[in-house]
Amino acid sequence: MAGLGGLSGLGGLGGLGDGGGIAAGAHLSVRKEIALGPVVNRKVETWQGPFDELLTKAKAYDIGAYVEDADLPDGGSDTQGGAYGYAFVADVKLSRENGNVGRLVVTYAQNRHLVLVSIDNTEVQRPIKTWRADDAVDPPDLAQVREWEAKKDTNYSAYANFTGLSGNTKKLAEMIFNGIENYSVYVPVVTLTGTTFSFPRTDLVRIGGAYAEPKFPYPWPLAHGLTQADITQDLKKSNNEDYTWVLASSRTTPNADGTYQWVIQYQACDSVEEVLFA
C-alpha cells in the first residue's frame, strides 16, 4: 500500500503531506486522518488559515474527480480487479470561524474491491405433479396417476379408493384428490453486494439469465475468505445435484460519498422456466 508503510496507527497523522497535490500556503496548516475500512477507505484533511486563501483552495477541488494520493493504497479501475478502486474527492466543506480564520474539510474516498455474500432461503410454489419427482427410491408414477384420474368419470369407486396405487404414487393421488395443486419448497437465494466508484456495468448482467454459479460481474474476491466453490459446493439440491442459478435482480443505489452500491441476487432453481413462469 503506497504511502502507508511504517504507520503504526492512524491517529495523529498531522503533517503527512501537502494535501492531495494542492500546495499548502505559508499561512495554512493541515491535519490528516486516515481510516481503512472493510468497504470504503477514507482520508479527511482539515485545513485552517485565512478564509480567503481557503476559499481559493476549495474552488480548486473537483468533487468526484480521481486523485493520486500517496496516503491511500494504490488503486485501479473497478472493472479490472485489484484490491482497491481509485481514490477520489468525495466532499469539500468550508466554514468561517472567528475573524478571518477559515476551516476547510476535504474528504477523499476509495472503494475496496470486495464482494459481501449473504444467503437466504425463499419459498417457491411448484405444481403438485412434480412432488418427489427426483426421489431416487420411490418417485411417483405419473402414468399411473393419469390412469387413476381417468377413472373419475368411469369408475368413481376405484378413483375414490385409489385402487392399484401404492407408495408415493398413492400419496400424490391423495393430494390431488384433496384439491392440492401446489406444494412449497425452499431454495437458496444468494445476494452479492459490491461498492463501486464508477457506475456499475449493468450491461454485464442479464435479468432472467441462467448461470452455473452465482458470481459478481467484476473479478473481485469474496469477503471473509470465501470462494466460489464454497457457495456452489454447499448449496445443492436434495439429491446433491447442482442448481441452475437465475439472475433474479440487479439493483444500483448511489451512496452519499459518490460511490454506488451494486446488489445482485441469484435464485437457485431446477430450470430457468421454474423462476420465469412460476
The whole-angstrom separation of Cα 225 and Cα 229 is 11
The whole-angstrom separation of Cα 179 and Cα 153 is 17
Q: Distance between terminal CA atoms of the chain?
A: 49
* Residue 3: band (very low, low, confident or very high) from pLDDT cuts 50, 70, 90: very low
Q: What is the pLDDT of residue 108?
A: 94
* Residue 6: band (very low, low, confident or very high) from pLDDT cuts 50, 70, 90: very low
* Residue 149: band (very low, low, confident or very high) from pLDDT cuts 50, 70, 90: very high
Top pLDDT among 141 and 15 is at 141
* Residue 26: band (very low, low, confident or very high) from pLDDT cuts 50, 70, 90: low
Which three cell numbers, joined as nine digits, stand for 143? 402414468
Q: What is the mean pLDDT of the chain?
A: 84
Chain center to CA of 110: 18
Q: What is the pLDDT of residue 2?
A: 38
Q: What is the pLDDT of residue 147?
A: 93
Percent of the chain with pLDDT over 70: 88
Phi and psi (nearest 5°) for 153?
Answer: -100, -15
CB 191 within 8 A of CB 263: yes
Q: Is the pLDDT of residue 74 over 60?
A: yes
Q: Is the pLDDT of residue 5 over 60?
A: no
Percent of the chain with pLDDT over 90: 52
Q: What is the pLDDT of residue 259?
A: 86
CA-wise closest residue to 107 among 258, 252, 260, 261:
258
Q: Is the pLDDT of residue 17 over 70?
A: no
Top pLDDT among 114 and 230 is at 114
CB 30 within 8 A of CB 37: no
Report angle CA 199, 204, 208 to the nearest 5 degrees: 120
Average pLDDT over residues 225-248: 84
Q: How many CB atoms lie within 10 A of CB 151?
A: 17
> Which of the residue ranges 8-12, 17-21, 79-83, 201-205 would you say has the lowest mean pLDDT?
8-12
Q: Is the pLDDT of residue 76 over 80?
A: yes
The whole-angstrom separation of Cα 230 and Cα 215 is 12
DSSP 8-state assignment for residue 80: G
Q: What is the pLDDT of residue 109?
A: 92
Which three cell numbers, joined as nine digits, stand for 207? 435479468
The b-or-e profile of 225-258 (16+ CB within 10 A means b, else e) is eeeeeebbeebeeeeeeebbbbbbebeeeeeebb
* Residue 271: band (very low, low, confident or very high) from pLDDT cuts 50, 70, 90: low
Top pLDDT among 159 and 232 is at 159
* Residue 126: band (very low, low, confident or very high) from pLDDT cuts 50, 70, 90: confident
Top pLDDT among 130 and 264 is at 264
Q: Is the pLDDT of residue 155 over 60?
A: yes
Type of residue at 243? Y
* Residue 212: band (very low, low, confident or very high) from pLDDT cuts 50, 70, 90: confident
If DSSP codes are grouped into helix, strand and coil, which group holds residue 250?
A: strand
CA-wise closest residue to 69 among 107, 39, 14, 26:
107
If DSSP codes are grouped into helix, strand and coil, which group holds residue 13?
A: coil
Contacts of 67 by beta carbon, 8 Å cutoff, 6+ apart: 20, 21, 86, 87, 88, 89, 108
Note the maximum CA span of the chain: 103
